[in-house]
Structure 1
Amino acid sequence: MNKKICILTDSLSKGGAEKVAANLTISLTNKGYQVYVVSMTNVIDYQFTGNLYNFGLIKEAQNKFKAFLEFKNYFRKHKFDVIIDHRVRDKYLKEILFSKIIFRKQKVIYCIHSYNLSFYFSFLKLPRLAKFPHTKDHKFVAVCHEIKDYLNKTLNINSIHINNYLLNNTTPFENFNEDFFDEYIIGVGRLNKIKQFDKLITCYKNSNLPINKIKLLILGDGENKKVLKQLVEDLKLKDLVNFYPFRENPYGLIRNAKALVLTSKTEGFPMVLLEALSLNTPVISFDCKSGPGEIIKHGINGLLVDDQNEEALTLAINKLVDPHFYQKIKANADLDLEQFSESKAIEKWKDIFENPNKYFS
């Protein structure tokens, strides 16, 4: 099992797709593969294994042309057996350069981490044009069934389904030294429009949690942080809503939460739901496209709310103060997580690597 595998990612920090890429480097190294990690930006926080090529540093030190040549030479030199591309790929001309010049004779697996296909394809209404900036020998991997079906329907792409997974050797809990021992619910993610933390704050305000002294903790960074803090001020929630910056190991905060709530507009296969459930923390989520509906067992390990129905989300949050119901979903939080195990996902990846003729054209 001496194959050379390249994991290509935008960064190794803050995002779910980036966490999946980091986890994959560890899993494949443990299986005996030679793993190389290429980060497009100089942002490295997640644990990973393998040989790191920090292209972000190269770009900071070189002009664009020299950086491009060095990037091209790196891939020419290594001749990887497979490149796994986890990046956002929404710049059409850039992707043509990558696929037709840099990766031209390589086998590339393009991962689709979001139901919003515009992150990965330009010209979605013109399928032939949308599919053009990809290598001749390629395959698409969808991280959930809904994305797989949507790819087929929208672009006539027959992809492989390999869901995101948690590492078997879960990262140890951080020392929980912070003075935050009140009851609280938690929201985790980038503070951007897609994650819709404004809806979480508003639904929390309208719920019974504030009068029960159950706080809201928001964990993450992003361009909307200032706006969200102002919303908290406007709703007179300053004493009840706390903001914490991104951290590579958030598990102590998630484990101690009463529940994790996800209010995204779209997702792919949200890792944070798996992480919460594995820590015996129940979850509440909009049934957005895609992922939550494949993870949450409604009324058993959490609550799945009609997509973007804020009134229903508020009512779901209210159920957390019902002790009988809460103990039921908490007891079942980690039920049936084996279907999302590392071993099952890695067997699928191995099959692609070891049987390339079966997958690549």
Structure 2
Amino acid sequence: MSKKICLLTDRLSSGGAEKMVGNLSISLAKKNYDVTIVSMRDDIKYDYKGNLYNFGEVKAKNSRLKSLIKFKNYFETQNFDVILDHRVRMHWFKEFMFSNFVFKNNLVVYCVHHFKLSLYFPCSSIPFLSKRTLVKNRVFVSVSKEVRDQVKKKLNFDSQIIYNYPIFKNEEVKINNLGFDYIIAVGRLEKIKQFDVLINSYSASKLSKANIKLLIFGEGSQRYHLESLIKEKNLESSIILKGFHSNVNPFIKQAKALVMTSESEGFPMVLIEALSLKTPVVSFDCKSGPNEIIQNEVNGILVKNQDALAMTNALNKLLDNEFYKSLKAHLENNNLLFTEEKILNQWVELLDAHIA
């Protein structure tokens, strides 16, 4: 009988962690696991395989109490062998209820997708309280070395590192010729992504004068602020907010570079997707992930963390033809590090080690 795997996620849209859930469902289904995705929100845009329990739809039709009862009953009847919990887990009481009344008898793998531990461990500054939100039969997976070290340092939990990986369909990476050169940025339009820093660095760079535009893909609460900043800089013809696209791969593939200016991350999916598509990357050396992905001046540029001037200089360096050719040549001639096959084997080994 196939092992029953539950992938628990906030949604199947908009973020790298959520895309990783879709990818993992596809990979595990290929290995003949019985896969179910449970989405806490009715927001399903990424590809996936297996069954879907859209709890967002349930919440929309029922009271909070009735929804919780239905949620509990669902997990009691499904008898999952393991729950891979990829959600953001910020609210202590909610997670206390889940761990003590919904998932109490389950094996749960808690996945930590960000360096900022408070996103995944409510009351992380008080380990005793954080532990009350976790089931006893638990395993931890961290998406980077720095996240693993942070989990150990702050909470004294051991965790296994399993990196993110991309999956591409042939039709998803066809060249999408826009008729102009550009760099690209992808992510939710939220403060932590610091697209305003990118806009300022781009404005101070030579890219606009060289007719290289900046395309930003994503939606979020900062859209109006970013639109205002672009107008203030008189760059409406050079910086384009493209909104959310479920498939940005053709745009990444054709870009001169993908740029990331986040305040903090976990293990940025957009960086490994870009490198897999042979597109150089430029990123702040933020916590965490970029320095485990980028070989500085080999497959991209690793910029001193939060140094806006250094970011501007890095963007200008993309105009150095010999330097840029060396980046592209490395990407074309070297094997990829973060492949589905390599990383899926780690997931399979973890599952086999903990499921009877």
TM-score (norm 1): 0.96
Is the 8 Å Cα contact of residues 282 and 301 (structure 1) preserved in structure 2?
yes
Q: Which amino acid aligns with 1:188?
A: V
After TM superposition, give the deviation of residue 335 of structure 1 in Å: 6.2
SS of structure 1 residue aligned to 2:283: strand
Going from structure 1 to structure 2, the CA distance change for 1:174 and 1:217 (only over 3 Å counts) comes to same
Going from structure 1 to structure 2, the CA distance change for 1:215 and 1:171 (only over 3 Å counts) comes to same
Could you say which residue in structure 1 is the equivalent of 2:112? 112
Going from structure 1 to structure 2, the CA distance change for 1:289 and 1:42 (only over 3 Å counts) comes to same
Is the 8 Å Cα contact of residues 90 and 122 (structure 1) preserved in structure 2?
yes
Alpha-carbon distance between aligned partners in 2 of 1:255 and 1:95, rounded to the nearest angstrom:
40
After TM superposition, give the deviation of residue 210 of structure 1 in Å: 1.2
Could you say which residue in structure 2 is the equivalent of 1:68? 68
Could you say which residue in structure 1 is the equivalent of 2:189? 191
2:259 corresponds, among 258, 261, 264, to: 261
SS of structure 2 residue aligned to 1:148: helix
After TM superposition, give the deviation of residue 173 of structure 1 in Å: 2.8
SS of structure 1 residue aligned to 2:35: strand
**Residues 1:82 and 2:82 are matched in the alignment:** yes
Residues 198-229 of structure 1: per-residue CA shift (max 9 Å, x gap): 00000000001111111111111111011101
Alpha-carbon distance between aligned partners in 2 of 1:71 and 1:253, rounded to the nearest angstrom:
39
SS of structure 1 residue aligned to 2:148: helix
Q: 1:292-303 counterparts in 2 under 5 A?
A: 292-303=290-301
Could you say which residue in structure 2 is the equivalent of 1:9? 9
SS of structure 1 residue aligned to 2:42: coil
Q: 1:139-178 counterparts in 2 under 5 A?
A: 139-167=139-167, 169-170=168-169, 172-173=171-172
Identity of aligned residues (%): 46
Alpha-carbon distance between aligned partners in 1 of 2:152 and 2:355, rounded to the nearest angstrom:
22
Going from structure 1 to structure 2, the CA distance change for 1:190 and 1:74 (only over 3 Å counts) comes to same
Is the 8 Å Cα contact of residues 278 and 337 (structure 1) preserved in structure 2?
no
Is the 8 Å Cα contact of residues 302 and 333 (structure 1) preserved in structure 2?
no
Alpha-carbon distance between aligned partners in 1 of 2:341 and 2:174, rounded to the nearest angstrom:
29
Going from structure 1 to structure 2, the CA distance change for 1:90 and 1:336 (only over 3 Å counts) comes to farther
Is the 8 Å Cα contact of residues 301 and 335 (structure 1) preserved in structure 2?
no
Q: Which amino acid aligns with 1:261?
A: V
Is the 8 Å Cα contact of residues 195 and 263 (structure 1) preserved in structure 2?
yes
Could you say which residue in structure 1 is the equivalent of 2:236? 238
After TM superposition, give the deviation of residue 333 of structure 1 in Å: 2.6
Alpha-carbon distance between aligned partners in 1 of 2:227 and 2:34, rounded to the nearest angstrom:
45
Alpha-carbon distance between aligned partners in 2 of 1:59 and 1:213, rounded to the nearest angstrom:
48
Could you say which residue in structure 2 is the equivalent of 1:249? 247
Could you say which residue in structure 1 is the equivalent of 2:45? 45
Could you say which residue in structure 2 is the equivalent of 1:319? 317
Could you say which residue in structure 2 is the equivalent of 1:129? 129
After TM superposition, give the deviation of residue 122 of structure 1 in Å: 2.0
Q: Which amino acid aligns with 2:212?
A: I
Could you say which residue in structure 2 is the equivalent of 1:351? 349
After TM superposition, give the deviation of residue 118 of structure 1 in Å: 0.8
Is the 8 Å Cα contact of residues 109 and 141 (structure 1) preserved in structure 2?
yes
After TM superposition, give the deviation of residue 339 of structure 1 in Å: 2.8
After TM superposition, give the deviation of residue 344 of structure 1 in Å: 1.8
Alpha-carbon distance between aligned partners in 2 of 1:163 and 1:337, rounded to the nearest angstrom:
16
Count of paired positions: 356
Could you say which residue in structure 1 is the equivalent of 2:288? 290
Alpha-carbon distance between aligned partners in 2 of 1:258 and 1:353, rounded to the nearest angstrom:
39
Q: What are structure 1's unaligned runs of at least 5 residues? A: none
Q: Which amino acid aligns with 2:145?
A: H
Could you say which residue in structure 1 is the equivalent of 2:199? 201
| RMSD, matched Cα | 1.5
After TM superposition, give the deviation of residue 336 of structure 1 in Å: 5.3
After TM superposition, give the deviation of residue 22 of structure 1 in Å: 0.6
Going from structure 1 to structure 2, the CA distance change for 1:354 and 1:26 (only over 3 Å counts) comes to same
Alpha-carbon distance between aligned partners in 2 of 1:117 and 1:309, rounded to the nearest angstrom:
24
Going from structure 1 to structure 2, the CA distance change for 1:171 and 1:133 (only over 3 Å counts) comes to farther
After TM superposition, give the deviation of residue 278 of structure 1 in Å: 1.1
After TM superposition, give the deviation of residue 247 of structure 1 in Å: 1.0
SS of structure 2 residue aligned to 1:111: strand
State the 4+ residue runs in structure 1 displaced beyond 3 angstroms.
174-178, 334-338
Alpha-carbon distance between aligned partners in 2 of 1:23 and 1:356, rounded to the nearest angstrom:
21
After TM superposition, give the deviation of residue 342 of structure 1 in Å: 1.2
Q: Which amino acid aligns with 1:162?
A: I
Q: Which amino acid aligns with 1:244?
A: K
Is the 8 Å Cα contact of residues 276 and 336 (structure 2) preserved in structure 1?
no
Alpha-carbon distance between aligned partners in 2 of 1:172 and 1:111, rounded to the nearest angstrom:
30
More moved, 325-334 vs 202-211: 325-334
TM-score (norm 2): 0.97
